[in-house]
Structure 1
Amino acid sequence: MSKLSLNQLYHLLLKAYGYQNWWPVDKNYHQAKGTDPRDEIIVGAVLTQNTAWKNVEKALENIKKEGELSLRFIREVAQDELARLIRPSGFYKLKAERLKNVASFFDPTDMVERVSREELLSLRGVGKETADAILLYAGNRLTFVVDAYTRRLFKRLYNIDESYDYIKSLIEENIPRELTLYKEFHALIDYHAKVYCRSTPRCGECFLNPFCINAVPSS
């Protein structure tokens, strides 16, 4: 394993990129509409499955323009209409069904403060990453989110290619149990993976290169 501890990794990423303040929500919109910002997080967590965030943003904009970005609207709108609005996110018919299930479950939204991870995972279409994203960002619960970017970085930096639960436990056992740190570390990993640790990595330009077990040699 790399000699770079997870705490050191976090601080290197934070120094390079600054606070990300993730999950992004349109606070002005919710203030004007009287809607709950947590609803946007929950909806976004479902929409981001198997797609890039830029596609999620397009779907969210459609909902805001033609409906209302709230779980109430998701519950009330016809499923076919919802599928049309979220089409940019891909797998839109399936995601419309999943959003309906999730919106019906979170009635009221305050349930996110007390729902268990196991209850969330019992919902059709809610996997571990989606459940943890909802709990961490909407519920302010201490649970780390492991996504494809995390897996990629850990495979290259630490030569760790294990299960979701293994990586989640490894991170949670080796960083302070602080809500802001959990949120920022996840967001910073994603940002770094988009900039340097891409599918085709930019190892020669990456400041983590000296610590990386599987760095690609510069040509």
Structure 2
Amino acid sequence: MHCVEWIYHELYGRYGPQGWWPLLDYGGEREPAKTGSRRGYHPLRYDLPETRTQTFEVCAGAILTQNTNWMNVERALLDLRSLGALDPLRLVRLDDATLKEAVRSAGYYNQKSRYLREFADFFLSLGTKAPAREELLEIRGIGRETADSMLLYAFHVPIFVVDAYTRRIFGNLGLIEEKVGYDRIRDLVEENLPPALPVYQEYHALLVEHAKRYYRKGADRRACPLLACR
């Protein structure tokens, strides 16, 4: 068994199903143990999101979560929902000042309001189909991590999401070099795991949960129990 696969099974055994991506309509679960917010998680519900409104909510969250924590994003999503603006058509009709104020809690509200408006226009053009990764990457404010998060969690495309936590953990375990590219890390995971949506969703979420426990700033990374795979 490759170390990548071993890590997945080890983390799943420790923390259980994570229920990502959180949705406002779900109250969250007490299990598995989770750091931070509990709102909206739905363990073992890989069919979610079910509606286009929920799909847009996930995509909006993926944009808003850039450079901030999820609890700040929750506040912004709740403010958007209070305006009826978790609907893309209503969002694009908001005036700039109202939209900026609604997403202020997520930080960088000038940029993120523009990104949301541009994405909402694109989303409306999609109809019922899923976007291509290349299409998402052409939209201002959407990089590889954000695009892959949208594909994996909103559109049910089995693609692995690489984030800073993934880099920290894999780097500490000697699986990657310091400056390795995003797509090479994604390939490393996808080459060693079956292309299954639940596995990719859980693996990304489990790495985040593990990193919050063992890889926070100033933490002694030698305490990471995954070092046993080396």
Secondary structure of residue in 2 paired with 1:189: helix
Deviation at 1:168, TM superposition (A): 0.8
- Residues 109, 37 of structure 1: alpha-carbon distance in 2 compared, 3 angstrom cutoff: farther
Secondary structure of residue in 2 paired with 1:125: coil
1:47 equivalenced with 2:45 (yes/no): no
Deviation at 1:204, TM superposition (A): 5.9
Question: Which residue does the alignment assign to 1:195?
Answer: 213
Amino acid corresponding to residue 122 of structure 1 in structure 2: E
Amino acid corresponding to residue 177 of structure 1 in structure 2: P
Among 176, 179, 184, which residue is 2:194 paired with?
176
Q: Is the 8 A contact 2:165 2:208 kept in 1?
A: yes
Amino acid corresponding to residue 76 of structure 1 in structure 2: R
Which 5+ residue runs of structure 2 have no aligned equivalent? 28-50
Query: In proportion to residue count, which structure has more helix?
Result: 1
1:134 equivalenced with 2:179 (yes/no): no
Task: Calculate the TM-score normalised by the size of structure 2.
Answer: 0.82
1:156 equivalenced with 2:172 (yes/no): yes
Deviation at 1:4, TM superposition (A): 6.2
Task: Show CA shifts across 1:153-194 (max 9, x none).
Answer: 111112512111110111111111100000000000011111
Which 5+ residue runs of structure 1 have no aligned equivalent? 213-219
Among 115, 118, 141, which residue is 2:131 paired with?
115
Of 49-58 and 64-73, more deviation after overlay is shown by 64-73
Of 143-152 and 157-166, more deviation after overlay is shown by 157-166
RMSD: 2.1
1:99 equivalenced with 2:97 (yes/no): no
Task: Calculate the TM-score normalised by the size of structure 1.
Answer: 0.86
Count of matched residue positions in the alignment of Structure 1 and Structure 2: 205
Q: Is the 8 A contact 1:10 1:185 kept in 2?
A: yes
Q: 1: CA distance between counterparts of 2:162 and 2:229? A: 21
- Runs of 4+ with deviation above 6 angstroms: none
Secondary structure of residue in 2 paired with 1:105: helix
Amino acid corresponding to residue 87 of structure 2 in structure 1: S
Among 49, 52, 56, which residue is 2:73 paired with?
56
| Identity among equivalent pairs (%) | 40
Question: Which residue does the alignment assign to 1:22?
Answer: 20
